[in-house]
Amino acid sequence: MERTIITFYQFADLPDFQEWKIRLEDLGEKEKVLGTIILGKEGINATICGSEDGVRKFMAFIRADERFAEMPSRSTFTSRETFYRLRVAIRDEIVTLGVPGIDPTEVVGQYVEPEDWNTLITDPDILLVDTRNDYEVELGTFKGALDPNTQNFSEWTDFAKDSLSNSPKRKVAMFCTGGIRCEKASSHLLQNGFDEVYHLRGGILHYLEKIDPEESQWEGECFVFHHQVSVTHGLKDGEAVLCFGCRWPLTEEDLSSPDYEKGVSCPKCHGGLSDRKRESLRERQRQIELARKRRETHIGRKMPTPRTALKTSPPA
């Protein structure tokens, strides 16, 4: 069955985020929408999937609030299983940089449309920076982009201080998967001495949606944060799969390695898994295969949660 996937985010003043959590969980259950939604005082960040009608109603509900009326989104379709449950999480930040006072609604870099991106990044005075993490960069990136070699976004500030501040190039162009990290990263740079900062509007996903492969400066596949794993031009399904031992995206070369075991390990984590962890992953994979044979769902079974707990739990 084909599923609709929508990725979206919006920085907004959202002091009522706790109430939004309950509303979205109820609506997701009603419309059979799955995915991951992050809520906080600064807004919403999410990727969801479901039937075309269910996702449409879900998005219409969110955009009925004036704070999200103009919120952009990115849509694609897949026949793969994407999410197993709906998870609505509460966070201090909808994308975690860990630096107080960084507000993209107050100051942010200059947006660049996908159609203008190729011209910008071929400027010899531009420093092109990939703001994503190491496992994402390894799967694909733009030609000539600087890899920050970070394992999570909270390491961005150290990278900016150690690598960007000493660069002779003071014009920076940055990109990320959907645009949200770049908004925060560009705001951070502008508050720390950089005058010219650009970022790709809508991120890599928007670029792959709009730009023909023959004109593209993109190399490889783009990692996405669900079981679709990766996409290529036209937002078509990529070939990468996910290792459940270390959560690293795997290429065809990885899959042909003798250290690859489906659902368990890959060449990157084969030697580092404990016997206990390995056996746990093997049992998980065995249960998944048995459930598929019975045409049942193993991962994502809904566990009952007292509604009172949702109302009284403090933000994570």
Dihedral sign from CA coordinates of 275, 277, 280, 286: negative
Angle at 80 between CA 215 and CA 210, to 5 degrees: 20
What type of residue sits at position 250? L
Any catalytic annotation for residue 176?
yes
DSSP conformational letter for 108: -
- Could you tell me if 146 and 130 are in contact, meaning their C-beta atoms sit under 8 angstroms apart? yes
Q: How far is CA 224 from CA 12, 153, 203, 241, 309, in A?
A: 24, 15, 12, 11, 31
Please, which residues bridge with residue 120 across strands?
none
Catalytic pick among 176, 182, 266, 269: 176
What is the residue-wise DSSP string for 204-247?
HHHHHHHS-GGG--EEE-EE-SSTT-EE-GGG-B-S-EE-TTT-
Angle at 195 between CA 118 and CA 186, to 5 degrees: 65
User: Per the structure block, which two tokens stand in for 101?
Assistant: 């006072």
- Could you tell me if 121 and 173 are in contact, meaning their C-beta atoms sit under 8 angstroms apart? yes
Closest to 142 in 3D by CA, of 249, 235, 222: 222
Helix (H, G, I), strand (E, B) or coil at 307: helix
Q: Which residues are catalytic?
A: 176
